[in-house]
A and B are shown apart, each in its own frame.
Chain A
Amino acid sequence: MSRINPLLVLLLLALLLVVSLVVSLGVGSYARGFADLPALLFGSADSLERAVMLELRLPRALSAMVVGAQLSLAGVMMQALLRNPLADPYVLGVSGGASVAALITLILGFSGFWVAAAAFAGAMINVVLVFGLVSRAGDWSPGRLLLTGVVIASGWGAVVSFLLAVSEGQALKSMLFWLMGDFSHVPAPGWHLLVLLVGLLFAWAVARPLNLVVRGALQAQALGVDPRPLRLGLFLVTSLLTASAVTQAGSVGFLGLVVPHMLRLLIGSDHRWLVPGAALGGATLLLAADTLARTVIAPQQLPVGVITAFLGVPLFLWLLNRNEAQR
């Protein structure tokens, strides 16, 4: 397994993130171009262009970065928690709970803040439900946790289908956009940024123990890591990250599953590199995807989840084949 120096990959990703941010701020149907960017961002002139930049484009770009980082980070930790490479942040039903609550508020005609608040409440209800069921059984093994979460997630899925089936018109379209992930109405990240920082700090602090936990609870315990508190911490922090991400942008798919694997293929499985790498990679990919989502068929907007899949699938397949060839 010949690999690139992980530090170099992180630096490149950071550079790519900055480039994506500049591009994202410079393109759009209004206030185009890069020459005026510094003046618009840091100047003091009052203009419509400046308002577009500071009140619409910048907050949206920041949110996309935060959500991308949150979902990728949650993906890395969820895969370690469940010891399953197919796990994603939504597998335990967090997004299901959020979706049901958000769709109900949309049907009732609310929008913006209320949908987000309901989504967060729904996600938390799911966390309490899964946590309660698993702790009552007293079995925190990946199998038990996964089965409990998957069954509850399917339950939420059924409710979502029901809600979609009985809705129509404009409500249905905004529901579909919400389900696929959408940044068109997001405010600046605010406290979600704090959630990301907490998650990042936690993940990095437990990064070396994570390397052991993926080898199984017994092996981790034999090598000096108590898996029980670690698993509980992983479950709670992952849920919080996912709930926060879903609250901001709906359930953006694909990212949380694929970004961790992309980074594994690039820099290996050591979580001390994987954690910051996934955060940077996820932020970059989602920012790029959102920039495309609002420009490709402008003035129409696409749900960003569609773009993440369009971008992610070929990128991931290319990385996978590149590694196969190197074996």
Chain B
Amino acid sequence: MTRMAIEGLTLRLGSRQFCDKLCLDFEPGQIWGVLGPNGSGKTTLLHTLAGLHSPQDGRVWLAERELAQWPVRERAQQLGILLQSDDSSFPAPVRECAMLGRHPHLEPWQWESAEDWARVDEALERVGLSHIAGRDQRLLSGGERQRLKLATLMVQAPGIWLLDEPTNHLDLHHQVQLLEDLTGEVRRQNQLLLMSLHDLNLAARLCDHLVLLYGDGRVEAGPLAELFESDRLSRLYGHPIRALHDGGQCWMVPG
């Protein structure tokens, strides 16, 4: 299964420095949570890993090849990203929107097969949109739109999943159910997933590794068990956070 690594990565946007000569290995089977305050570079990091942003310095490796060396279409077969914004003012049925995820797997003149449509229907079923598969995408609510983006990513079926704030607009039920379903599947298939999150307890529930972006160039990364402490998280967000223990579980609540 594919692995990813970053080597000497420096990310800057305007005058803000997000990380400096950062080196990290992402192994198959791992679920990473990317945490940090607003504007700390979570999106920039994920975009860099997806090849949508060129870093100031350093390299990103996808398998044995540098990310920049991959042809875009082959890269999209390996690696998929859930973007924060994806909107279109043109009408299109939900089912056709989800089918866009199949694009990298089709030859230039090839049309979608019945098997591709079956994948689309399965993905829509998984995110609970089957009943509105024919609806115009412009009429969807924010949460439904987010689930459609997730379904499109499932149709793309990458080996490496990058999710930029996947819980946006999702209700409690869908946050837990969809992301548990997805992370479970990623672990079973020995794939790799990285997602930026704002909900600390959801991160603890789903992830096994964390990247903490402080927003001033400091970065900490490692197994969840080593980093998930109230003092550290309080420093990360610049806000007091208390740990509440309940049996074996630990809950972080803002103080």
Contacts and interface: CB of A to CB of B under 8 A. Distances in A.
A268 B96 contact: yes
A29 B216 CA distance: 80
Given A1-B136, A208-B106, A223 B156 contact: yes
B73 A268 contact: no
Contacts of A268: 91-93, 96
B93 A219 contact: no
Count class of interface residues, chain A: 20 to 34
A222 B100 contact: no
Given A1-B91, A215-B86, A268-B92, A221 B52 contact: yes
Contacts of A327: 136, 139
A226 interface: yes
Contacts of A49: none
A1 B135 contact: yes
Nearest to A217: B52
Nearest to A323: B91
B90 A214 contact: yes
Interface stretch (B77-85, B121-129, B177-185, B238-246): B77-85
Contact of B134 (A1, A222, A269): A1
A218 B83 contact: yes
A209 B106 CA distance: 11
B86 A216 contact: yes
A111 interface: no
Nearest to B139: A327
A219 B103 CA distance: 12
A226 B103 CA distance: 13
Interface string B91-120: 111001000110110101001000000000
Interface string B20-49: 000000000000000000000000000100
A209 B135 CA distance: 22
B76 interface: yes
A84 B104 CA distance: 25
A223 to B, nearest CB: 5
B88 interface: yes
Given A84-B89, A215-B88, A219-B83, A224 B96 contact: no
B50 interface: yes
A67 B89 CA distance: 27
A117 interface: no
Interface string B65-82: 000000011111100110
Q: Which of A85, A208, A212 counts the most B-chain CB atoms under 10 A from its CB?
A: A208
Contacts of B101: 223
B77 A83 contact: no
Contact of B72 (A2, A215, A225): A225
Contacts of B139: 327
A222 B136 contact: no
Interface in A28-47: none
A184 interface: no
A215 B99 CA distance: 13
B87 interface: yes
Interface in A74-89: 79, 83-85
A224 B103 contact: yes
Contact of B100 (A1, A83, A212, A226): A212
A211 interface: yes
A153 to B, nearest CB: 21
A144 interface: no
Q: Which of B83, B91, B108, B135 counts the most A-chain CB atoms under 10 A from its CB?
A: B91
B89 A222 contact: no
A223 B134 contact: no
A206 B50 CA distance: 23
A148 to B, nearest CB: 21
Nearest to B111: A272
B86 A219 contact: yes
A212 B90 contact: no
Interface in A60-101: 79, 83-85
Contacts of B89: 83-85
Contact of B91 (A2, A84, A212, A269): A269
A270 interface: yes
14 contacts: A1-B93, A1-B136, A83-B88, A83-B89, A85-B90, A215-B88, A216-B87, A222-B76, A223-B100, A223-B101, A224-B77, A226-B72, A269-B91, A270-B96
Given A224-B72, A224-B73, A224-B77, 7 more contacts: A1-B135, A208-B103, A212-B100, A215-B88, A216-B88, A221-B52, A223-B156
List 6 A-B pairs, minimum CB-CB distance, nearest first: A224-B76, A224-B104, A224-B73, A269-B92, A1-B93, A223-B103
Interface of A: 1-2, 79, 83-85, 205, 208-209, 211-212, 214-216, 218-219, 221-226, 264-265, 268-270, 272, 327
